Structure 1
Amino acid sequence: MLKLKYLFHNNDLAEMILKNWSYDSDSLGMFQYYRISSNAVYPFRDQGEVHLLRFAPIEEKNQTNLAAELEFLTYLKLNQYGVMEAVPSHTGKELVEAHTPWGMYYASVFKRVPGNQMGSIDLTDQIVRSMGEALGQLHRLSRDYTPKQTKRWTYTDVLDWMKDVLGEFPSETAALNEIEVLQDYFANWPVTQQNFGLIHYDFELDNVFYDEESHSCYAIDFDDAMYHWYAMDVEQTLDSLRDEIRPDEWEQKKGILLQGYWREAGDTYDMESMFPACRRFANLYGYIRVLRSGAEQWAHEPEWMSGLRVRLDKARAAKAKQFGQQQNFQLPPK
């Protein structure tokens, strides 16, 4: 999540950055449907087709990670995987450094994928199975992927980043201890081609679209991708799905998703024993991102920001309650 000071809607900034690409000038009214979280995303049209402008301040992003994301997307597209497609700028670049009166930004444009967000449709057995298959196919392709230019960061880089952030918050001893526990624990996990590779990390209902016509899924927003155990992706997906399924149907839907996953991913192994530690990693990562996002405060904040701060504080408090839980992990099988 971006720092709160970057969450302001700015039509002029978006239009200035968009001038690096082709667009239909009469489609800028679509900017009203913007969203800002980990990036600012503004929809528009080019020759009648919906595209999405994505940008963020350079101090909020890692250029190497962004370049690696774009390279991975190209690889997936070449292998017929349903994924968002980057659109080159006027200068032929998929990643643009935009100099603006508001600072420097990294920006890219993507074509809109077909279908509807999984979070907005009825999650039938067929659709849940399709989501599992899409994740399994993603991991199968990841196993054969070797970056040509740049490599995405790893879970160890993310843990180091968390520790750096906490250097600004000396009272956060519980979170720091959580980092050290996970560093020690993950250091003993087996790393194989079958269980470890480049993951999406945020393969959740809002980032997966289901196309009714082709009965297939399309994944968007690889902004959080990292090298991690594939179990991390599966646990995140199940956690996202759990909130949308009735408790009496949960075990059945979980089984259907995992069945679809293994159908595409290949030989099964005891992945579920890895879920508790993965959930703990996600909880900690979310906590520290929220902590960093809301650290700065200003007098006379707008009402929306004050309301958002209250919600973020509640979410952070809930995550903090999980620190120190499940200390006695079992190591996954080799």
Structure 2
Amino acid sequence: MLKLKYLFNNEELAEMMLRNWAYDQESLHLFQYYRISSNAIYPFENGGKNQLLRFAPQTEKLKSNLLAELEFLSYLRERGYGVLEAVPSRKGSELVEAQTPWGTYYATVFKRVPGVRMDDATLDDQTVFRYGQALGELHRLSSDYSPVQSKRWTHSEVLEWIRRILEPFPEQMAARAETELLADYFAGVSATSGNYGLIHYDFELDNIFYDQTQDTVNVIDFDDAMYHWYAVDIEQALDSLLEAVATEEQAHKKGCFLKGYASRYDLPEDGPSLAACRRFADLYRYARILRSTAEQWEHEPEWLTTLRSRLDSSLKVGGSRFGEKL
């Protein structure tokens, strides 16, 4: 999540970014459908086709991670896996680093993928099976992947980043203890080519698009990808799925998902527990929220005070299990 000061709509900045690419001038009214979270996303059209401008301040992103993301997306597309396709800029670069009155920004443009988001789809058995199958296929391809130029960060580097984020907050003793607890735990877990690799990390329903007519799946938002145990992706996907279905259906839908996964890749028998995977996700989210909300200003707009209140509540929930035995 970006720092809160970067969540304000800035269409002038978006247009400055977009001028690095070809676009239909008359489509800029689509900027009104922007969204900002981990990145600013502004839709537009080029040649009548919908595309998405994604950008974020240089201070919020690691360039090596962005380049590694684009390289991995290219690898997946070349192997027939449904993912976002980056659009080269006017100068032929998929990643643009631009100086602006608001600072230096990284920007990329992607073609919109077909289908509907799975959280808007009917989660029948076939759809859930395809959801699991898409994750299994991703992990199968990841297990054979070796980056050529840039490499995403690892779970250990993420934990080190969390340590740095917590340094200015001496009161966050429980979060620091949780960081060390998880570091010690994962240090004792076997990492093999079969259970550890480049994962999506956010393989939740809102990042998966399903085209029922073509029976195809497309995956977006690899922005949080990292090297971790495949179990982390499985845990987060199942958590997202089970939240979306009725309690009495959960066991059955979980079985459909796991069958889909196993049809493409062997379910990992070793590795971290799902509880440890959830604790890592909770800690990582906690640190990002803490960093994002650290600055506060007088007379904040209502939407920001509402968001801040919601994030503060999320901090309390996220930290409620810190220190529990794994």
TM class by shorter-chain length? over 0.9
- Distance in 2, Cα, partners of 1:201 & 1:223: 9
1:147-296 alignment runs, 5 A limit: 147-265=147-265, 267-270=266-269, 274-296=273-295
Residue 322 and residue 100 in structure 1: after superposition, are their counterparts in 2 closer, same or farther (change >3 A)? same
TM-score, structure 1 normalization: 0.96
Equivalent position of 2:103 in the other structure = 103
Residue 51 (structure 1) aligned with residue 70 (structure 2): no
- Distance in 1, Cα, partners of 2:119 & 2:11: 28
Residue 314 (structure 1) aligned with residue 310 (structure 2): no
Q: What are the ranges of 5 or more consecutive residues in structure 1 without an aligned counterpart? A: 330-334
Q: Is contact 2:117-2:209 (8 Å) kept?
A: yes
Aligned residues: 326
Equivalent position of 1:13 in the other structure = 13
Amino acid at match of 1:239: D
- Distance in 1, Cα, partners of 2:109 & 2:82: 17
Amino acid at match of 1:48: G
Q: Is contact 2:231-2:272 (8 Å) kept?
A: no
Please state whether the residue corresponding to 1:237 is helix, strand or coil: helix
- Distance in 2, Cα, partners of 1:28 & 1:268: 45
Residue 41 (structure 1) aligned with residue 49 (structure 2): no
- Distance in 2, Cα, partners of 1:49 & 1:68: 26
Shift in Å, 1:271: 5.7
Amino acid at match of 2:309: V
Please state whether the residue corresponding to 2:263 is helix, strand or coil: helix
Please state whether the residue corresponding to 1:243 is helix, strand or coil: helix
- Distance in 2, Cα, partners of 1:105 & 1:168: 25
Q: Is contact 2:186-2:272 (8 Å) kept?
A: no
Please state whether the residue corresponding to 2:76 is helix, strand or coil: helix
Amino acid at match of 1:53: L
Residue 271 and residue 281 in structure 1: after superposition, are their counterparts in 2 closer, same or farther (change >3 A)? same
Q: Deviations over 1:148-199 (max 9, x none)?
A: 0011100000000000000111110000000000101100111111100000
Shift in Å, 1:247: 0.4
State the identity as a percent.
Answer: 58
Equivalent position of 1:297 in the other structure = 296
Please state whether the residue corresponding to 1:264 is helix, strand or coil: coil
- Distance in 1, Cα, partners of 2:310 & 2:94: 35
Shift in Å, 1:283: 0.6
Shift in Å, 1:268: 3.5
Residue 230 and residue 39 in structure 1: after superposition, are their counterparts in 2 closer, same or farther (change >3 A)? same
- Distance in 1, Cα, partners of 2:192 & 2:219: 25
1:12-91 alignment runs, 5 A limit: 12-91=12-91
Q: Is contact 1:125-1:253 (8 Å) kept?
A: yes
Shift in Å, 1:324: 1.6
Please state whether the residue corresponding to 1:138 is helix, strand or coil: helix
Shift in Å, 1:270: 2.5
Shift in Å, 1:121: 1.4
Shift in Å, 1:273: 6.2
Please state whether the residue corresponding to 2:244 is helix, strand or coil: coil
- Distance in 2, Cα, partners of 1:268 & 1:116: 27
Shift in Å, 1:70: 0.2
TM-score, structure 2 normalization: 0.99
Shift in Å, 1:243: 1.1
Give the superposed CA RMSD. Answer: 1.0
- Distance in 2, Cα, partners of 1:234 & 1:283: 15
Q: Is contact 1:55-1:106 (8 Å) kept?
A: yes
Dislocated runs of 4+, deviation >6 Å: none
- Distance in 1, Cα, partners of 2:13 & 2:241: 35
Shift in Å, 1:75: 0.1
Q: What are the ranges of 5 or more consecutive residues in structure 2 without an aligned counterpart? A: none
Please state whether the residue corresponding to 2:279 is helix, strand or coil: helix
